[in-house]
Amino acid sequence: MLLTQFILVDAHFVLSLLAALTAFAIAWLYFDAWSANKKMKETALFFGFLLLAVSFVVESVVIDQALLERSILGAQTANLVKVIFRTLAYIALIISQISVPLQPVPEPC
Protein backbone atom coordinates (compact mmCIF):
# COMPACT_ATOMS: atom_id res chain seq x y z
CA MET A 1 0.00 0.00 0.00
CA LEU A 2 2.73 2.45 0.96
CA LEU A 3 4.78 1.59 -2.15
CA THR A 4 1.82 2.23 -4.44
CA GLN A 5 1.12 5.54 -2.73
CA PHE A 6 4.79 6.52 -3.05
CA ILE A 7 4.81 5.71 -6.77
CA LEU A 8 1.59 7.65 -7.39
CA VAL A 9 2.82 10.71 -5.48
CA ASP A 10 6.06 10.63 -7.48
CA ALA A 11 4.12 10.27 -10.73
CA HIS A 12 1.96 13.28 -9.79
CA PHE A 13 5.10 15.31 -9.06
CA VAL A 14 6.79 14.33 -12.32
CA LEU A 15 3.71 14.97 -14.47
CA SER A 16 3.11 18.36 -12.84
CA LEU A 17 6.70 19.41 -13.44
CA LEU A 18 6.56 18.14 -17.02
CA ALA A 19 3.44 20.21 -17.63
CA ALA A 20 5.15 23.22 -16.01
CA LEU A 21 8.19 22.79 -18.25
CA THR A 22 5.99 22.54 -21.33
CA ALA A 23 4.00 25.66 -20.41
CA PHE A 24 7.24 27.52 -19.63
CA ALA A 25 8.72 26.52 -23.01
CA ILE A 26 5.61 27.85 -24.76
CA ALA A 27 5.82 31.06 -22.72
CA TRP A 28 9.49 31.41 -23.68
CA LEU A 29 8.65 31.03 -27.39
CA TYR A 30 5.88 33.63 -27.15
CA PHE A 31 8.26 35.96 -25.28
CA ASP A 32 10.84 35.53 -28.03
CA ALA A 33 8.23 36.33 -30.69
CA TRP A 34 6.97 39.27 -28.64
CA SER A 35 10.46 40.76 -28.23
CA ALA A 36 10.67 41.27 -32.01
CA ASN A 37 7.29 43.05 -32.36
CA LYS A 38 6.48 44.32 -28.87
CA LYS A 39 2.71 44.32 -29.46
CA MET A 40 0.51 44.52 -26.38
CA LYS A 41 -1.92 42.00 -27.88
CA GLU A 42 0.71 39.28 -27.76
CA THR A 43 1.83 40.11 -24.23
CA ALA A 44 -1.17 38.31 -22.75
CA LEU A 45 -0.09 35.04 -24.41
CA PHE A 46 3.30 35.19 -22.73
CA PHE A 47 1.90 36.03 -19.30
CA GLY A 48 -0.89 33.47 -19.65
CA PHE A 49 1.48 30.59 -20.28
CA LEU A 50 3.91 31.87 -17.64
CA LEU A 51 1.15 31.91 -15.01
CA LEU A 52 0.06 28.46 -16.16
CA ALA A 53 3.62 27.17 -15.65
CA VAL A 54 3.72 28.66 -12.14
CA SER A 55 0.39 27.03 -11.30
CA PHE A 56 1.74 23.61 -12.33
CA VAL A 57 4.84 24.15 -10.17
CA VAL A 58 2.60 25.03 -7.21
CA GLU A 59 0.54 21.91 -7.89
CA SER A 60 3.67 19.75 -7.80
CA VAL A 61 4.45 21.09 -4.30
CA VAL A 62 1.23 19.64 -2.89
CA ILE A 63 2.26 16.40 -1.21
CA ASP A 64 -0.11 13.91 0.33
CA GLN A 65 -0.49 14.54 4.07
CA ALA A 66 -0.06 10.86 4.91
CA LEU A 67 3.57 10.91 3.81
CA LEU A 68 4.64 13.95 5.81
CA GLU A 69 4.00 14.88 9.39
CA ARG A 70 3.66 18.53 8.44
CA SER A 71 3.39 19.91 4.92
CA ILE A 72 5.87 22.48 3.61
CA LEU A 73 3.11 24.64 2.23
CA GLY A 74 -0.38 23.93 3.48
CA ALA A 75 -2.44 21.95 1.01
CA GLN A 76 -5.31 24.43 1.22
CA THR A 77 -2.99 27.39 0.66
CA ALA A 78 -1.29 25.68 -2.28
CA ASN A 79 -4.63 24.79 -3.84
CA LEU A 80 -5.85 28.37 -3.44
CA VAL A 81 -2.69 29.75 -5.07
CA LYS A 82 -2.98 27.17 -7.85
CA VAL A 83 -6.60 28.10 -8.56
CA ILE A 84 -5.80 31.83 -8.58
CA PHE A 85 -2.86 31.42 -10.97
CA ARG A 86 -4.78 29.08 -13.28
CA THR A 87 -7.80 31.38 -13.39
CA LEU A 88 -5.61 34.39 -14.22
CA ALA A 89 -3.73 32.34 -16.84
CA TYR A 90 -6.91 31.14 -18.54
CA ILE A 91 -8.36 34.66 -18.53
CA ALA A 92 -5.15 36.03 -20.10
CA LEU A 93 -5.16 33.30 -22.74
CA ILE A 94 -8.83 33.88 -23.58
CA ILE A 95 -8.27 37.65 -23.86
CA SER A 96 -5.27 37.13 -26.12
CA GLN A 97 -7.17 34.73 -28.37
CA ILE A 98 -10.06 37.17 -28.68
CA SER A 99 -7.86 40.23 -29.32
CA VAL A 100 -5.65 38.70 -32.03
CA PRO A 101 -7.67 38.38 -35.26
CA LEU A 102 -7.59 35.26 -37.37
CA GLN A 103 -5.64 35.26 -40.61
CA PRO A 104 -7.81 35.87 -43.67
CA VAL A 105 -8.66 32.93 -45.88
CA PRO A 106 -6.42 32.94 -48.96
CA GLU A 107 -8.16 33.49 -52.27
CA PRO A 108 -7.91 30.71 -54.86
CA CYS A 109 -5.64 31.33 -57.85
Average pLDDT of every residue of the chain: 85
The pLDDT-based confidence of 15 (bands split at 50, 70, 90) is very high
Does pLDDT of 28 surpass 90? yes
- Tens of pLDDT, residue by residue over 42-68, are 788 899 999 999 999 988 877 655 556
CB-CB neighbours of 24 under 10 Å:
17
* Average pLDDT of the residues in 72-81: 75
Look at residue 85 and tell me whether its pLDDT is greater than 60: yes
